[in-house]
Structure 1
Amino acid sequence: MAYDPQQRFLNLVPGGNGIIYTIQADGNLYWYRHINWTTGTPPSWANSGSGRLIGTSWHKFRFVLAAADGQIFAFMPNGDLLWYRYMLSDINTGAGSWHSASGSRIGTQWNFPRVIGGWNNVLYAEDGNGDLRWYKYTGTNGSFSWAENSGSKIGSQWQTYTQLFADPNGVIFGTRHGSALSWFRYLGTNGTFNWANGGVPVDTTILGPFERGLFSNGSGAVYKIKTNTANPPGPDNQLQWYRLLNSETVNTSGVQWASGSGAVVGSGFTRENSAALQGYPTSLSTRQGTSLGIHVSTTFPSYTSSTLRLAPTTGAPVVVTQPTTRTGQFQPLQSGYHSAGCGWSQSFSVSVGTGTSWPSGVYASQLKSPQGKEHNVMFVVRPSTPQRQIAVLVPTNTYNAYNFWGGHNQYTTGQAGAQRTVTMQRPQMGTSWDNFYTTATGIIDHLLYSDLQLFRWMSSKSVAYDCYADTDLHATGANWLRTPSQGGHYKALVLTTHPEYFSQTARDNVVAFQNNGGRIIYLGGNGIYERMQYTADGNAIIFRRPDGSRDVYADSGQSESQILGVSHYQPTYMSFAPYQVRDTTSNPFTAGTGLSVGDTFGSVSYDIAASGWEVDRRQGAVPGSVLIAEGLNTTGGAEMLYVPASDTKGWVFSVGSLSFTGSVPIDTAIQKLLLNVFTQAVA
């Protein structure tokens, strides 16, 4: 068996009338049909629930969509779009045959981060900037033919939706961070801007955040993988059914979910879209001049691996080691892998060099299937000895907290009252997507992509820095995070987009650095907020107290404001706005920016605008602090704060916003301001 029952399917593709095409991790394509798809009860399936094998080698595709007449749209890693049609002869058994033109190429350059739809031959493609584009396939039998206005822009700022999927006749569903399922309906027929309800989403008040495996199968039938709420988690293998009875008229007739929605209608539907090719490093951080193990499981007979430096300058990563062909090895997950780790043996090692060819920074072992499907294994290369005057902390604890691989993380739905132990020895889906390092993801990001935008800009401006992971700050930070007055090397510490989770030891090391004159450059939001612990072997993170409550530092008298000047401000969640200047004379950073009091900046960001998502503000008096700028969010924006050095502490510069780094490559005022910050940091 070349798949793991814990992660059997890469994708579940709806085909209408209860038909579901499932792509197994080994590439086998199976036909299923949920007979009672309109009612959800009883859980009745064609062929007594056994899938019918109708194809092989389907794991080579990035993603697959389908129409209700057997047409299937399959997207290759190189951007080619292939057309297939399964001609069903018996809907009760799945018997049928493939159209003779199946496999025909009907499109090129389909390198979009996300494409949804397929229903009515309409595809909705979202580009890296969050713009939604309309396409309609008008060909027959695999011919290359598209509607005249295909490619027209029909929407913007769709990157706030972490999950998108479509139903027939223009219906689109989406979930945002921390929100329920939203409903849209596109009414246009030729790529014009024409939406029900003026394009304003309708909240369907069902399905919570961080659900997975969502898809719609016609006439409002919505399915998802049920999250196992045991602690430690069991397998997520049950399929749940919902149905929106008025799926095309929600905006005028209200939300009407069918009785019985939420019923479990099938089992064995475990899903992980990376299961054909995936891996993780032995450690998230390695020192220059050492060797790092990479652990890979794949159902492909072979793959290549190369090493990339991800943030040398703007643009494509630098290839540090050329691709090497390796024999594929499928490795099953060990028991209790959510906490204990995947348990895969080491597949190969990366010999990390020194000097200019291997500077400290963020790297990835890039894995590629024979057809070019990618999986990237990120790691940090720290310096053998401190070399620069600026240290950058990569928030790997946050990456792990939000890593949705395996369906469980710090925010697993339904585990109230439970402490969570989450392994770091597993694939990192928040840092591993196809084309992740050269193409924007089309989803707002508070993890690696946003950090890379900052790192690439710093490198392009010759702002030299050494890189460390959160684990380094905990294990050895007292040795390397030291100021010249302590006999150390670093004058400044940079905290990036979302440095939320710190061990007590790591926090203490930052405080000691600051108390000895170290400068803190805080370029994110919701930082140093929650205390976590590492397991004894250092391979997993324990989140929350034993009773399941969050171990927030402020609750123990250690507010993040004691270090950063600002603290987390919850009312502004998922709001976005520019900053407005409040001061240009009492800080050393706004000189030369061209900004005057009252001016705005940061109105454009990859993450919508520079002040937003999660923001920080002063929650009390901060003696000597200077408010440089303030976000114009209606509920209270981020405070860009300067706290000058005192006799006992180094100075602090805080932007107080999760979406700030997304503006760094775009906004010239922010670029000049940051150059001033970094110049002052090493003065």
Structure 2
Amino acid sequence: MAYDPQQRFLNLVPGGNGIIYAIQADGKLYWYRHTNWSTGAPASWANSGSGRVIGNGGWQKFRFVLAAADGQIFACMPNGDLLWYRYILSNSTTGAGGWHSASGTRIGTQWNFPRVIGGWNNVLYAQEGNGDLRWYKYTGTNGSFKWAANSGAKIGAQWQPYTQLFADPNGVIYGTRHGSSLSWFRYLGTDGSFKWANGGEAVDTMLLGPFERGLFSNGSGTIYKIQTSTANPPGADTRLQWYRLLNSETVNTSGVQWANGSGSAVGSGFTREECAALQGYPTSLSARQGTSLGIHVSTTFPSYTSSTIRLAPATGAPVVVTQPTSRTGQFKMLQSGYHSAGCGWSQSFSVAVGTGSSWPSGVYASQLKSTHGKEHNVMFVVRPTTPQRQIAVLVPTNTYTAYNFWGGHNQYTSGQGGAQRTVSMQRPNMGTSWDNVYRTAPGIIDHLLHSDLQLMRWMTSKSIGYDCYADTDLHATGSSWLRTPAQGGNYKALVLTSHPEYFSQTARDNVVAFQNNGGRVIYLGGNGIYERVKYTADGHGVVFRRADGSRDVYADSGQSEAQILGVSHYQPTYMSFSPYQVRDTGNNPFTPGTGMSVGDIFGTASYNIAASGWEVDRRPAAVPGSVLVAEGLNKTGGAEMLYVPPVAGKGWVFSAGSLTLTASVPTDTALQKLLQNVFTQAVA
């Protein structure tokens, strides 16, 4: 078998009138039709539910595939070439038909957008990394290279908060935000003009569970969703759920009208994983210089190449450390219980981790590429043999694991209330494995690797040296390396990045000991040191939550994060974004020389919308001697940027208190000056 039943399809592409083009992991293209797509009848499928093979291979090579309702298919190669196909259906009961003779013709180039949706009415919506949405309309026939005159026109901005975007005919666009409902938009323009229903404001239509994925529309308000397994540990997500918004084009004026309320189960076996054609993971998320690290790969491609790239320290594009090596592809099945036990794939090859200037401590990836350029990056941290710098950066790999939706499940999986969750680190990670397009910007607000790299690359550009460690290193050996000069160690400061939420008790204790011996803490994120986690006996899994399924929040046991950071998580500002305003310039060592005055605004521009937002921290109570350097202007209470001076040998703390601040660092000069002062003081 050339695919795993637990992740059979890479993508399910709607073709209108109940037609679904399903791209199997081995590259075959299947045709399905839900004949009662308009009513949601459960057992009404063409061919008794068996898909018809209409493409015998190669379809796994594309970055994205979209379709129109007349059989036209738009498929983009990793190099940005857009290809045109058309399946001419001759029998809607069996799926019989044939391909247009011009199928495979190139109709576009440079489609290197992080996200492209649509296809209906020959309209494609392309989102750039900065959140701008652009309109294109294909006007060619039979694969000719012809587009509407205003194709490429900007029709929207700041679409990054939507983790999923998909389209319906006649301008309807749906989007989902983190932990919120399904939002509705409708573009009314026909020529790239800026024209939206409801003034472009979203209309919320349906409440979704957190991190639900695999949604797509199929015309006239019909929406399908891959239902998440509620078993613990989770099983495969095989069930196809049907919904229909009866007034999909007018919900802004006629209200939200769903058929059948909660929807209907209409099919099974539609498991989906977008990277199932080429994917991998490291034996460990951290490797010491001078050792060897195993890489575990499963692919349906007959061959691929692997190279090693350094993501940080670097000032721009990743640095190639080892040149591409050709490898024979091998497809591997998942073991039972892979969400918690790991994939169980055998090692495919190993990376010899070097030392010296070519292998400085930092963030690396084993870059996997198919013959056609499809890419998957296997991230890992290289820690130093012995401390080399005065600053240690903690890479929050526990957070990367907690939010890793590969396989459809993470620590926030819906329907598992009352259950403890063990999440394996030995599985591909969709928060760190972006392809070559995403290296510039993934097009979605980010609190994981992309944001952390923006900070580390800026530090490198300013010659701020640092060593890197993973969360697992702080737990396992932190007491030996996270030591101040007063303890006989090397580090004067510890940097916590965008979202260092999950700490083991041992890791937290190591930070406290470091701080109590004069270590400075530079906290540049939000919602940090919030939840206690444990590790499995083999060290390959993170155990989230107590035995009863409730979150093991440190503050509940009298160990608030504010004891270390001065600030603690502030829930009311969730998914709000604003700049900071300066509150103090005379009682802290960081603002002098920046040119900033009380009342000045900074952090307005950010890849993550604005510098104060998403999740923010504020002081739960007065912190003796603390100085409020700046404050986010969020209406419900912004992040408090705090300086806590040293007391009785304890190191000082600088807290940004915002999950989105690091994404402002590359572009905001005022923030850069402030942080340069922070790092200068850190090693003084």
Please classify the TM superposition score into its range, dividing by the shorter chain length.
over 0.9
Q: Is the 8 A contact 1:175 1:209 kept in 2?
A: no
Contact in 2 for aligned 1:279/1:296 (Cα 8 Å): yes
Secondary structure at 1:542 match in 2: strand
Which residue of 2 is the match for residue 7 of structure 1? 7
Contact 1:136–1:150 (Cα < 8 Å) also in 2: yes
* Amino acid in structure 1 at the alignment position of 2:591: T
Answer yes or no: is 1:483 the counterpart of 2:484.
yes
Aligned to 2:397: 396
Preserved contact between residue 545 and residue 551 of structure 1 (Cα < 8 Å) = yes
Give the equivalent residue in structure 1 for 2:594.
Answer: 593
In 2, Cα distance between equivalents of 1:673 and 1:539: 38
Contact 1:312 1:318 in 2 (8 A): no
- SS of residue in 2 equivalent to 1:305: strand
| Cα pair 1:300 1:369 within 8 Å, conserved | yes
Superposition deviation, residue 437 in structure 1? 5.6
The superposition leaves residues 90-130 of structure 1 with CA deviations (integer Å, 9 ceiling, x where unpaired) of 00100000000000000000000000000000000000001
The within-5 A match list for 1:280-429 is 280-429=281-430
CA contact (8 A) 2:180 2:207 kept: no
**Separation in structure 2 between the aligned mates of residue 346 and residue 259 of structure 1, nearest angstrom:** 48
Question: How many residues are paired up?
Answer: 683
Shift in Å, 1:43: 2.3
In the TM superposition, 1:181-580 aligns within 5 A as: 181-259=182-260, 261-435=262-436, 438-580=439-581
Find the aligned partners of 1:254 and 1:314 in 2 and give their Cα distance.
50
**Larger mean Cα displacement after TM superposition, 265-274 or 305-314:** 305-314
Deviation per CA, 1:454-487, whole angstroms, max 9, x where unpaired?
0100001100000000000000000000000000
Aligned-partner residue type, residue 580 of structure 1: Q
Q: Is the 8 A contact 2:210 2:413 kept in 1?
A: no
Q: Which residue of 2 aligns with 1:47?
A: 47
User: Could you give the per-residue CA deviations for residues 489-536 of structure 1, whole angstroms, max 9, x where no partner exists?
Assistant: 000000000000000000000000000000000000000000000001
Identity of aligned residues (%): 84
Task: List 4+ stretches of structure 1 deviating above 4 A.
Answer: none
User: Post-superposition shift, 1:621?
Assistant: 1.1
1:179 corresponding residue in structure 2: 180
Deviations 1:365-413 (A, max 9, x none): 0000000000000000000000000000000000000000011110001
1:439 to partner: Cα distance: 1.9
Aligned CA RMSD, in angstroms, stands at 0.7
The separation in 2 between residues aligned to 1:48 and 1:416, in whole angstroms, is 36
Deviation at 1:436, TM superposition (A): 5.5
Distance (whole Å) between structure 2 residues aligned to residue 241 and residue 666 of structure 1: 44
Looking at structure 2, the residues matched to 672 and 344 of structure 1 have their Cα atoms a distance apart, in angstroms, of 47
Structure 1 residues 165-202: Cα deviation after superposition (integer angstroms, max 9, x where no partner) = 00000000000011010000000001111000000000
- C-alpha displacement of 1:648: 3.4
1:628 lines up with 2:646 in the alignment: no
Q: Contact 2:391/2:467 (CA < 8 Å) preserved in 1?
A: yes
**Offset of residue 42 of structure 1:** 3.4
Tell me the equivalent position of 2:617: 616
Give the superposition deviation at 1:433: 1.7
Counterpart in 2 of 1:94? 95
CA distances 1:564-602 after superposition (whole Å, capped 9, x unpaired):
000000000000000000000001101221110011100
| Amino acid in structure 2 at the alignment position of 1:25 | A
Q: Is the 8 A contact 1:226 1:239 kept in 2?
A: yes
Letter in 2 for 1:416: G
Instruction: Give the conservation status (yes or no) of the 8 Å contact 1:285–1:468.
Output: yes
The Cα shift of 1:313 comes to 3.1
- TM-score normalised to structure 2 length: 0.99
The Cα offsets for residues 12-58 of structure 1, whole Å up to 9 and x where unpaired, read as: 00000000000000000000000000000132100000000000210
CA shift at 1:261, angstroms?
4.3
Structure 1, 639-648 or 6-15: larger mean CA deviation: 639-648
Mapped to 1, the partners of 2:598 and 2:208 lie a distance apart of 44
CA distance in 2, matches of 1:276, 1:437: 18
Give yes or no for the alignment of 1:670 onto 2:677.
Answer: no
Asked whether the equivalents of residues 313 and 363 of structure 2 are also in contact (C-alpha less than 8 Å), the reply is no
Q: Does 1:19 align with 2:58?
A: no
Letter in 2 for 1:32: Y
CA contact (8 A) 2:485 2:491 kept: yes
Contact map agreement 1:378 1:431 (CA 8 A) in 2: yes
- Structure 1 residues 281-336: Cα deviation after superposition (integer angstroms, max 9, x where no partner): 00000000000000000000000000000023332100000000000000000011
Distance in structure 1 (CA, Å) of the matches to 2:589 and 2:214: 50
- Partners of 1:40 and 1:261 within 8 A in 2: no
CA distance in 1, matches of 2:53, 2:207: 34
Q: Secondary structure at the match of 2:73?
A: strand
Q: Distance in 2 between matches of 1:484 and 1:208?
A: 48
Deviation at 1:260, TM superposition (A): 5.5
Cα displacement string for residues 389-448 of structure 1 (whole angstroms, at most 9, x for unaligned residues) = 000000000000000001111000111111001000000100112225632000000000
Give the Cα–Cα distance (whole angstroms) in 2 for the partners of residues 650 and 262 of structure 1: 56
- Kept in 1, the 8 Å contact 2:210–2:412? The answer is no
Distance 1:425 1:42 in 2: 37
Partner of 2:85: 84
C-alpha separation between the residues in 2 aligned to 1:540 and 1:554?
A: 24
Kept after mapping to 1: 8 A contact 2:42/2:265: no
- Whether the aligned pair in 1 keeps the contact of 2:112 and 2:437 (CA below 8 Å) is no
The amino acid across from 1:6 in the alignment is Q
- Relative to structure 1, the CA distance from residue 475 to residue 436 in structure 2 (aligned partners, 3 Å threshold; closer, same or farther) is farther
Q: Which amino acid aligns with 1:128?
A: G
- Distance, in Å, in 2 between the alignment partners of 1:89 and 1:205 is 37
**Pair 1:157-2:149 in alignment:** no
Partner of 1:71: 72
Aligned residue for 1:242, secondary structure, equals strand
The 3 A distance-change label for structure 1 pair 436 and 310 is farther
| Structure-2 separation of matches of 1:214 and 1:437 | 21
Cα contact 2:114–2:438 (8 A) shared by 1 = no
8 A contact 1:19–1:34 mirrored in 2: yes
Distance in 2 between the 1:218 and 1:652 partners?
54
- Which shifted more, 202-211 or 265-274? 202-211
Name the amino acid aligned to 1:31: W
Are the equivalent residues in 2 in contact too, given 1:84–1:102 (CA < 8 A)? yes
Alpha carbons 2:42, 2:264 under 8 Å: kept: no
Q: Which runs of 5+ in 1 are unaligned?
A: none
Quick check: 2:66–2:73 contact (8 Å CA) kept in 1?
yes
Does 2:146 correspond to 1:145? yes
TM-score (norm 1): 0.99
Q: CA deviation at 1:211?
A: 1.1
Counterpart-to-counterpart distance in 1, 2:334 and 2:99: 35
Q: 1:284 to 1:317 in 2, by over 3 A?
A: same
Q: CA deviation at 1:254?
A: 0.3
* SS of the residue 1:536 aligns to: coil
Gap change, CA 1:430 and 1:193, over 3 Å in 2: same
Distance verdict in 2 for CA 1:425–1:272, change over 3 Å: same
